[in-house]
């Protein structure tokens, strides 16, 4: 299973003072709650899938690809300008060089190549079985 995320922002890494948050209206609080819920949902889905694949001794058959530190215009779902697309392409290029996780030093580039080979090998195997 190759799970492709849309990315997350490190916005929640910022801290806010009580004075700042006291000025927030209902809309600001609803947006914060929505973002926290979405982030938690994405994290929990990844956690559960990862756990299931580990329990089945198939952890090499699951890969979640997601940048967790988007900033600026790259965080906008509707930011389809040419400049933003170029920024997102650069984010993807940089992500390829990052390790998959603290526990897995394999880079995303290596992991995706491994996945492509695995899928190709399985397709060849199915084709060979079908020709009998």
pTM exceeding 0.85? no
Higher pLDDT, 110 or 46: 110
- Give the whole-angstrom CA distance, residue 74 versus residue 81: 10
Radius of gyration of the chain measured on its C-alpha atoms: 19
Whether the pLDDT of residue 120 is over 90: the answer is yes
- Give the whole-angstrom CA distance, residue 87 versus residue 72: 10
The maximal CA–CA distance of the chain, rounded, in angstroms, is 73
Distance (Å) of CA 83 to CA 70, 72, 94, 129: 15, 12, 17, 48
Q: What percent of the chain has pLDDT over 90?
A: 36
Q: Where are the domains of the chain?
A: 2-130
Tell me what pLDDT residue 44 has: 83
- Give the whole-angstrom CA distance, residue 131 versus residue 127: 6
Tokens of 87: 């920024």
């Amino acid at each position: 299973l190759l799970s492709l995320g849309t990315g997350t922002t490190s916005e929640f890494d910022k801290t806010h003072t009580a004075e700042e948050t006291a000025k927030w209206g209902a809309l600001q609080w609803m947006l914060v709650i929505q973002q926290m819920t979405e982030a938690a949902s994405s994290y929990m889905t990844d956690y559960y899938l990862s756990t299931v694949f580990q329990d089945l001794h198939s952890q090499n058959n699951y890969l979640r690809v997601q940048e967790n530190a988007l900033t600026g215009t790259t965080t906008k779902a509707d930011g389809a300008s040419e400049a933003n697309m170029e920024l997102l392409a650069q984010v993807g290029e940089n992500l390829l060089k990052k390790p998959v996780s603290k526990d897995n030093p394999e880079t995303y580039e290596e992991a995706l190549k491994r996945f492509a080979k695995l899928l190709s090998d399985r397709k060849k195997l199915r084709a060979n079985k079908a020709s009998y």
